[in-house]
Amino acid sequence: MGKRIVIALGGNALGNNLPEQMIAVKQTAKAIVDLIQEGHEVIIAHGNGPQVGMIQKAMTELTRSDPEKYIPCPLSVCVAMSQGYIGYDLQNALREELLDRGINKGVATVLTQVEVDPEDKAFQNPTKPIGAFMTKEEADKMVAERGYNVIEDAGRGYRRVVASPKPQSIIEIQSIRDMVAAGLVVVACGGGGIPVYKTEGHHLKGAAAVIDKDFASCVLAQQVEADTLIILTAVEKVAINFGKPDEKWLDSLTPDEARKYIAEGHFAPGSMLPKVQAAVEFAESAPGRSALITLLEKAKDGVAGRTGTAIHQ
């Protein structure tokens, strides 16, 4: 019997620019449709690091060119733009691959808002660099006029930094559930979702933040009651002592083992660490749930238990 699977696509599944993305999504679609052909229900989330950076930089340059005509574009709007055009390429590639295999299944992208807590401590300590490099004069102006937080970035200039709060819930979750129940392949929570928080009444306000896509995928997987969360990355398995002579690749991990390795500092922040943390959170969220960390092209073998690192209680 097929499983309900949430797949979190890493940057290598999408490329770094428009031409690369067009090529990458064709291979990505093949790996995803392999799972659909096996009888699994699939919901797809993805990152947007290069894409949202490109949009933010373009919008910044536009504002610089004529500040009286063009106003700054909020980061939440840039995330929405990236969801739209990545979803456009993904759903077309998936539709084509499904039809080529004789599978008549609809594909849809949901522009997804993800609620964050405005009191999250991440907002007090923004650390995520985004957008174009600036001179000190430009950075000082952004601080004075727009209240941006900026840092000096390794001698290359100054960059804006924003918060990376933890996702709380998915605003469009009922729409996503309904689409999955109707048999659609759904693309959601692109780039970790558009970060929003509730204000007066029912109004949602966009936050100047980015949400880690692995944590957002974990919340999505819980809220659609998935059986498995697959986090795709650039390696086939998780390793301890990575890159060292005593490097060891792991076939499976219990949550307790994962926490021990996290405490020992085996997983790099901003790289493997959030993947392992999200996998553990999902595996512990309900009986029978498991997570898998592996390569895109190994996803089918991973679900069958032949490769990857499985995280389960």
> Of residues 128, 149, 157, 206, which has the active-site annotation?
128
* Neighbour-count burial of 1, counting CB atoms closer than 10 A to its CB (0-12 exposed, 13-18 middle, 19+ buried): exposed
> Of residues 12, 16, 92, 149, which has the active-site annotation?
12
DSSP SS3 for 60? helix
> Of residues 10, 48, 193, 213, which has the active-site annotation?
213
d(CA 1, CA 185): 18
149 is catalytic: no
11 is catalytic: yes
Q: Which residues lie below 8 Å from residue 229, measured CB to CB, with a gap of 6+?
A: 5, 6, 8, 217, 218, 221, 278, 279, 282, 289, 290, 291, 292
Farthest CA pair distance, the chain: 61
> Of residues 15, 49, 87, 275, which has the active-site annotation?
275
Residue whose entry in the numeric block shows the structure tokens 């996998």:
279
205 is catalytic: no
Closest CA to 208 of 267, 164, 168: 164
**Residue 311 contacts residue 283 (beta carbons within 8 Å):** yes
> Of residues 10, 11, 190, 193, which has the active-site annotation?
11
213 is catalytic: yes
d(CA 88, CA 85): 5
Amino acid type, 87: G
3 is catalytic: no
Which residue numbers are catalytic?
11-12, 128, 213, 275
